Amino acid sequence: MASARSFSEEQFQEACAELQSPWLLGWNWLFLSVFILQPTGLYEYKFIGTLRAPPDLLVDIGMDLGYIRRQIPQVTEAYETECDGETVTYMKMEFPFFVSSRDCVYVKQRRDLDFRGRKIQVVLAKGTSLPQFPERPGFIRVRQCQVKLAVESDGHNRSKVLIYWFINPGGWIPSWLINLLVKNGIPGFLADLEDACLRYQGRT
């Protein structure tokens, strides 16, 4: 059951520490590492790089469910609610042809931290199970998902960003296809996110 203790202080601190890699300076988006998660054969992905957007705006837009729905047409329903003092998100995804539709329930927390004198924004999210969100007929419930995002200003209206991503959509989709879709999809999503921030800044 979700609670205010779904994420520990150590998890937030670890995200901050990962962002402080000395290799980060001067990089654009770079794919750093892939870990094979046994026994599923699915990959865990970690990216570190920079985006041309200030941290506050970047995290705000990235957390906006309306933006996610506009960018991912398969998402046909998404909303947030409060359960036991924590933000819980429900998301429904409908796919054509041979891919079964899926839904997901996950908890997330966003915090601003002072880490060694540096302001870092961290968002942690993971799948959960709650009686308020029973499974729907005709949908496969995505039970395993985890996202970690850490963002810090680089002092030039840009952001240093760390993102970790893992998802197991369940069902019978081959692991190689899931890995391919995730690997190709995340950089495009991040580029679109950067463009959205630039367009927003252009209107202000």
2 domain-assigned: no
Residues 6+ apart with CB under 8 A from 156: none
User: Could you tell me if residue 39 is inside a domain?
Assistant: yes
The alpha carbons of the chain give a radius of gyration, in whole angstroms, of 17
**pLDDT digits (tens), the chain, 204 positions:** 444 468 999 999 999 998 886 555 444 445 555 666 767 788 888 888 888 888 988 888 888 888 888 877 888 999 999 888 888 999 999 877 677 889 999 999 999 999 988 899 999 999 999 999 999 998 999 999 999 999 999 877 888 888 888 888 888 777 777 777 777 777 777 777 778 777 776 555
Query: By residue range, what is the domain housing residue 186?
Result: 9-203
pTM of the model: 0.84
Residue 14, domain CATH:
3.30.530.20
CA distances to 41, 95, 161, 166, 179 from 34, in Å: 12, 27, 17, 10, 10
Q: Is residue 3 domain-resident?
A: no
In a domain, 81, yes or no: yes
- Does residue 4 belong to any structural domain of this protein? no
**DSSP β-bridge partners for residue 142:** 104
* Number of domains observed in the structure of the chain: 1
